[in-house]
Structure 1
Amino acid sequence: MTEDEARDRLLARRAALDAGDAANADAREVVELQQDSVGRLSRMDALQQQAMAQATARRRVAERARIEAALARVDEGEWGWCTACGNEIAEKRLAHDPSVAKCVECAG
């Protein structure tokens, strides 16, 4: 995978994360207490869905940070090299996830 291909995949994934954030924004909103129209179990379900949406948002933030770091490495000409030991990262590993920063040995 070339740096240009990696950049394209990283930008596409970042755009997908942004779209996911926009689509699920209302799921992270505060759950209103409406005792007259919503029962206790429905409220518990709504709270659980809200918690899952918030956890998903946190994972998106972490993934976005990895993508931004990978894009910076591409710009600096350091993409594809382990940030810990400096060795080259395996092509298959980069093809699977172009945002990885460490080789298999250092990641494990």
Structure 2
Amino acid sequence: MDEQTARARLEALRDELLALSDAASEDRKPVELDQQSVGRLSRQDSLQVQAMAKAADARRTQELRRIEVALQRLEAGEYGWCVECGEAIGEKRLSIDPAAPRCAACA
């Protein structure tokens, strides 16, 4: 994968993750526990939705870090090379996961 294609894919992934995070921001807000207006099961459902939204956001944040590091490797001319052994990362692996920092053997 050439650098221009890799950069475009990484930036598109980053933009998609940021948009998903913005869309889910309402679900991560604190749950109001007003006993007069909401029943116990509704509060539990709200708390569960909030917990799942926070977990999903943590995964998105981790993926965003991987993408930023891959973009930094692109800038440094180190993209496509394994961070552990220094060998080239397979084209197929990078096409599946453009932020992959390791070759298949080291992963």
Query: Taking structure 2 as the reference length, what is the TM-score of the superposition?
Result: 0.98
**2:99 is matched with which residue?**
99
Deviations 1:14-59 (A, max 9, x none): 1111111111111000000111121111100000000000001100
Stretches of 4+ moved more than 2 A in 1? none
Q: Within 2, Cα distance between the matches of 1:26 and 1:42?
A: 16
- Unpaired runs of 5+ residues, structure 2, are none
What corresponds to 2:87 in structure 1? 87
Give the equivalent residue in structure 2 for 1:67: 67
SS of 2:105 mapped into structure 1: helix
The alignment of Structure 1 onto Structure 2 pairs a total of residues equal to 107
Identity level (%): 53
Structural RMSD (CA): 0.6
Q: Secondary structure at the match of 2:49?
A: helix
CA distance in 2, matches of 1:44, 1:72: 42
CA distance in 1, matches of 2:78, 2:48: 42
